[in-house]
Amino acid sequence: MKKLLTTVLFLTAVLNLWAAEVPLVANISGRDVSSLNGAWNYIVDVQEEGYYDYRMKPYDWGFFRNAKPQKPEDLIEYDFDKSPTMQIPGDWNTQDERLFFYEGTVWFKKSFEWHPQANRRTLLYFGAVNYDAYVFVNGKKAGHHIGGFTPFNFDVTELLKDGENNVIVKVDNKRHAEDVPTQIFDWWNYGGITRDVKLVSVTPVYIENYKLQLASLEGRLLNFSVKLNKAEAGHQVTLRIPELKISKQMMTGEDGSAMIAMKAKPQLWSPENPKLYKVEILLGEETLTDEIGFRTIETRGKQILLNGEPIFLKGICIHEEKPNGGGRANSTDDAHTLLSWAKELGCNFVRLAHYPHNEYAVREAERMGILVWSEIPVYWTIAWTNPETYTNAERQLTDMIARDQNRANIIIWSIANETPHSAERDLFLSRLSKHAKALDDSRLISMAMEVTSASNYHNKLQDNMNEYVDVVSFNQYVGWYRDVNDAPKMMWEIPYDKPVIVSEFGGGAKYGLHGATNQRWTEEFQENLYQENLAMLDKIDGLAGTTPWILKDFRSPRRVLTGIQDYYNMKGLFSDKGEKKKAFYVLKAWYEKK
């Protein structure tokens, strides 16, 4: 009995040997990485047999042990190596038809070779896992992460061994009221390891993150700041921008960070000229490379100024979904396809709805000269008074900014979409707004407010959050959810001296379905709705841009009209196959005049 107790205590100690979740490491693609993408074995575990015992208590003999029978009588009731595989990154819904509607736990296992290197540490990086991820390396817990659309990484150096290793991830995408997003949302709840998995090799002291931006047009001042993973003084960091003949050295202070300002005359990044500069950041033997553009973004009254010039944001909303029923998008090619469609529309701006999209998409948009609105999934009725919900939302905001703060094309951080008015909501969102500003005061803050009714054709936007945003944006569905064919009569009052973005409007249509303009679901109905809405938008004082809902038809479990929706939201200007609906040409023509 005593022997058993010591064994159990020892095992518990070993199993609870957590690797460290370390702050998000930026610019993974500019580092020394090896990919764990590819085929992963998976086990669908509806009742979480692999994690909880029959008393619903987590137990030490779960699937994370990747156990194998040692003796003939050994009872092991799972075997990853005999289990099917699916491609990672990827969602399970479009790779295993049994899992199309599935929300629950799936276990994933990947075996890989690893060999220790002197004076190096190894981080395990996930681009994103939807939604709740427990990560194990060689049977030991590496860490836990919630939130389906932002990256995270663990230092797993101590968990790795020379030779064959395995990583096992328990992924659960069940929805809960206290989550972010909460229980209901109008997009498919694609589950799984939806973005890249990488091993990142770093020196014990490494560059965690950095920020390089054009501080002001006057005097063309560049600001650079860098943060190491260790709060250590005396580390020399060198910044090089060869094309600008810049090479600057600086020493870190007590907190392991350094910053400098320097004069420079870079070409400015803009949709017409998406100029990026090769940047090198050196620390010891390590050189981190990136491509960065320089621009300024600000507001002046009701105008948005890019590089000091007023700009009209010709936008469209996009969900992170491949065409042709392909599931979660997660590559440069996927992004290029969707962004090229937006370019065909005449867009210079996209609203990446309603969650941070993958880094490939943001970087591809930057190369293509497309400005970006990036958003966290504080969507509809979040649990405003739940402190963990706030911590979760703030964490997603922090990670979104940490990952993309060097992207010149991102001009707006959005903290919410269509949230109901209340004091609790206002407090929650005002805290997020201040947090975003504290992390990055060089970009504009917004959120998608909403105007859901008019009195006597008078639409008025009223939202206490107007004080906490730089751009007042709102969704309105005149012609679809309300006031069909009344758009021409509508008047709009937006009583705030700030630029206005209509962040959603639109209506559904099934590609190829034709009929009268008042016949729902026909292309003619959607075409007419766009004609009327765009004429209405032309009357809105201070309109600085719009992002109609939406680029392409996308999957949603809330859209069940057989023969029309079939689990697709049909408000796309493109069908899911990329076929242009009549309304596409209406918006394109309007943007040509803008």
Q: Would you tell me which residues interact with ligand GCU (CB under 6 A)?
A: 186, 354, 417-418, 475, 504, 549, 569, 571
Nearest-angstrom CA–CA distance, 216 and 552: 37
Nearer to ligand GCU among residue 94 and residue 417 (C-beta): 417
**In the complex, least distance from residue 421 CB atom to ligand GCU, rounded to whole angstroms:** 16
- Name the residue with tokens 């137990």: 59
Question: Are the beta carbons of 140 and 14 closer than 8 angstroms?
Answer: yes
Nearest-angstrom CA–CA distance, 394 and 438: 12
Nearer to ligand GCU among residue 354 and residue 498 (C-beta): 354
Nearer to ligand GCU among residue 170 and residue 351 (C-beta): 351
**In the complex, least distance from residue 179 CB atom to ligand GCU, rounded to whole angstroms:** 16
**In the complex, least distance from residue 568 CB atom to ligand GCU, rounded to whole angstroms:** 11
Question: Are the beta carbons of 254 and 276 closer than 8 angstroms?
Answer: no
3-28: buried (b, 16+ CB within 10 Å) or exposed (e) per residue?
eeeeeeeeeeeebeeebeebebbbbb
SS3 content of the chain, % helix, strand, coil (to 5): 20, 35, 45
- Name the residue with tokens 């805290």: 431
Question: Computed from CA positions of residues 412, 416, 419, 422, in that sequence, does the dihedral angle turn out positive or negative?
Answer: negative
Nearer to ligand GCU among residue 122 and residue 475 (C-beta): 475
**In the complex, least distance from residue 202 CB atom to ligand GCU, rounded to whole angstroms:** 39
**In the complex, least distance from residue 317 CB atom to ligand GCU, rounded to whole angstroms:** 8
Nearer to ligand GCU among residue 198 and residue 354 (C-beta): 354
Long-range Cβ contact pairs of 533-536 (< 8 A, separation 24 or more) = 533/478, 533/479, 533/487, 533/505, 533/506, 534/586, 534/587, 534/590, 535/487, 535/488, 536/478, 536/487, 536/488, 536/490, 536/492
Question: Are the beta carbons of 584 and 574 closer than 8 angstroms?
Answer: yes
Nearest C-alpha neighbor of 67 from the set 17, 107, 25: 107
Nearest C-alpha neighbor of 409 from the set 293, 311, 279: 293
**In the complex, least distance from residue 569 CB atom to ligand GCU, rounded to whole angstroms:** 5
**In the complex, least distance from residue 420 CB atom to ligand GCU, rounded to whole angstroms:** 13
Nearer to ligand GCU among residue 414 and residue 531 (C-beta): 414
**In the complex, least distance from residue 298 CB atom to ligand GCU, rounded to whole angstroms:** 27
Furthest-apart CA atoms within the chain: distance in Å: 83
> How many alpha carbons fall within 13 Å on the CB side of residue 375?
25
Nearer to ligand GCU among residue 473 and residue 569 (C-beta): 569
Question: Got the DSSP string for 378-417?
Answer: -BSS--TT-HHHHHHHHHHHHHHHHHHTT-TTEEEEEEEE
**In the complex, least distance from residue 506 CB atom to ligand GCU, rounded to whole angstroms:** 7
Nearest-angstrom CA–CA distance, 343 and 540: 25
Nearer to ligand GCU among residue 131 and residue 568 (C-beta): 568
**In the complex, least distance from residue 375 CB atom to ligand GCU, rounded to whole angstroms:** 10
* Structure tokens given for 96: 């295993």
Question: Are the beta carbons of 527 and 511 closer than 8 angstroms?
Answer: no
**In the complex, least distance from residue 206 CB atom to ligand GCU, rounded to whole angstroms:** 39
Contact partners, residue 9, CB within 8 Å, separation at least 6: none
Nearer to ligand GCU among residue 396 and residue 419 (C-beta): 419
Contact partners, residue 377, CB within 8 Å, separation at least 6: 148, 149, 180, 181, 185, 354, 355, 396, 417
Q: Which residues are 237's β-sheet partners? A: 250, 283
Ranked by CB distance to ligand GCU, the top (closest) residue is: 186
Nearer to ligand GCU among residue 29 and residue 453 (C-beta): 453
**In the complex, least distance from residue 556 CB atom to ligand GCU, rounded to whole angstroms:** 7
Strands (E) located in 433-524: 444-450, 458-460, 472-475, 491-493, 500-504
**In the complex, least distance from residue 337 CB atom to ligand GCU, rounded to whole angstroms:** 21
**In the complex, least distance from residue 259 CB atom to ligand GCU, rounded to whole angstroms:** 38
Give CA torsion, residues 150, 439, 208, 191, to 10 deg.
Answer: 0
Tell me how many degrees the CA angle 17-18-20 measures, rounded to the nearest 5.
140
CB 503: neighbour CB atoms within 10 A? 31
Nearer to ligand GCU among residue 208 and residue 418 (C-beta): 418
Nearer to ligand GCU among residue 148 and residue 293 (C-beta): 148
Nearer to ligand GCU among residue 206 and residue 549 (C-beta): 549
Question: Are the beta carbons of 126 and 193 closer than 8 angstroms?
Answer: yes
Nearer to ligand GCU among residue 89 and residue 148 (C-beta): 148
